[in-house]
Amino acid sequence: MSEAFPGPHGGPATGHVPVLRLGEVLLVTLQGDLYDSTAQQLQQDLAETISRSGATGVIIDISGVEIVDSFLGRVLAEIAGQTELLAARTVVVGMRPAVAITLVELGLTLPGVHTALSTEVAMALLTEHAPSSRYGGLRRESL
């Protein structure tokens, strides 16, 4: 965490975050420092993977991330938005208290993003409310 985040086009160019497929759900685990370019690459990868595989949910585990800046906050919101357009749902999992406080202080409450405390809960949410039973609806507050 000693280094500053490079600009959107700075940093190593080959930063691919692995996207794991578990049935209908895609699982992404973010760890430690996340460069802006890596986050953008992930956004692109996710969009392509969802449209190719027809996944109905995306779980982004950020329990290993200690710093979320406004850029990453926006990327998360955008991922949620594009996933929604592709008929899937995004659940952000395991946000640390300090990160949550920072985001709220920055005014980023990520209104369109679903959240869960653990991947287990997130899996349950996504499988319970698969798009076929869409009318049941996943809890989704906007603040």
Partner 1 sequence: MAGSPTHEVRDFLRRRREQIAQRWADEPLFRAVFTVSRDEAVEAGKAVVDALAQVADAGRVEDPDAAGFTAVREQLARMGAARSRAGLSTAQVSSELATLRPPVENLLLSDLQEATDTHVRDCVTTLSVLMGTLRVVVMQTALSEGQALIDRQRLQLLEVATPVIKLWDGIVAVPLIGTLDSARSQVVMETLLESIVEQQARYAILDITGVPTVDSLVAQHLMKTVAAARLMGAECIVSGIRPAIAQTMVHLGLDLGTVVTRSSLADALGYVLHQLGVGIVTPGANGTVTR
- Please state the φ and ψ torsions of residue 46, each to the nearest 5 degrees: -60, -45
In this chain, which of 9, 16, 52, 139 binds partner 1, going by CB under 8 A?
139
Please tell me whether residue 143 binds partner 1 under the rule CB under 8 A.
yes
Three-state DSSP class for residue 61: strand
In this chain, which of 116, 123, 126, 129 binds partner 1, going by CB under 8 A?
116
**Which neighbouring-strand residues pair with 31?**
64
Three-state DSSP class for residue 9: coil
In this chain, which of 75, 93, 123, 126 binds partner 1, going by CB under 8 A?
93
> Of 3-11, 16-24, 91-99, 129-137, which part binds partner 1 (CB under 8 A)?
91-99
DSSP per-residue codes, 76-93: HHHHHHHHHHTT-EEEEE
Residues found near partner 1 in the complex (CB under 8 A): 92-97, 99-101, 103-105, 109-110, 115-118, 121-122, 139, 141-143
